[in-house]
Each structure stands twice: as structure tokens, then as C-alpha cells.
């Protein structure tokens, strides 16, 4: 390495030292909340209604 190359390398390392103290990672104080509004009742009710209708049709004499 030439004298100018060493000088540039030392300058780059010295310039990076103050940046090391600027990076802070902290966990959040409050938990992260993800709200998902998923409506599955319609499908479940539909399936139950269809199954009940089939059961009634198959066993009409019971009802």
C-alpha cells in the first residue's frame, strides 16, 4: 500500500468510529398488535345448514 492509500484507509476507519455509537436497537415498550378481521362464521353456518338440510331430506320420517 502506498502512503496515500494508507492515509485514506486510516481516515476511513477513523471516520467510521463515530458512526458506531449512532446505531441503537431497542425492543418496543408495547407489544406489536396485528388486528385481523376474519369472518369465518358465514362459511361454517352455510356448511352446517347444508348438512342439516341433507340430514332432514335423508330422514324425513324422523322430522
The residue ranking higher by pLDDT, 42 or 31, is 31
Report the alpha-carbon distance of residue 2 to residue 8 in Å, rounded: 10
Q: Which residue has the cell 408495547?
A: 30
% of the chain exceeding 70 in pLDDT: 62
pLDDT at 51 over 70: yes
State how far the Cα of 4 lies from the Cα of 32, in Å rounded to an integer.
51
Q: How many Å apart are CA 25 and CA 61, to the nearest integer?
A: 71
What is residue 2's predicted lDDT score, i.e. its pLDDT?
60
Rounded to an integer, the average pLDDT of 6-35 is: 74
Average pLDDT over the chain, rounded to whole? 75
Q: What pLDDT, on a 0 to 100 scale, did the predictor assign at position 7?
A: 76
pTM: 0.29
Amino acid at each position: 500500500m502506498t502512503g496515500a492509500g494508507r492515509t485514506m484507509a486510516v481516515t476511513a476507519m477513523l471516520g467510521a468510529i463515530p458512526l458506531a455509537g449512532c446505531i441503537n436497537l431497542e425492543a418496543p415498550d408495547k407489544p406489536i398488535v396485528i388486528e385481523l378481521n376474519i369472518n369465518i362464521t358465514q362459511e361454517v353456518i352455510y356448511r352446517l345448514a347444508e348438512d342439516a338440510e341433507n340430514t332432514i331430506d335423508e330422514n324425513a320420517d324422523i322430522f
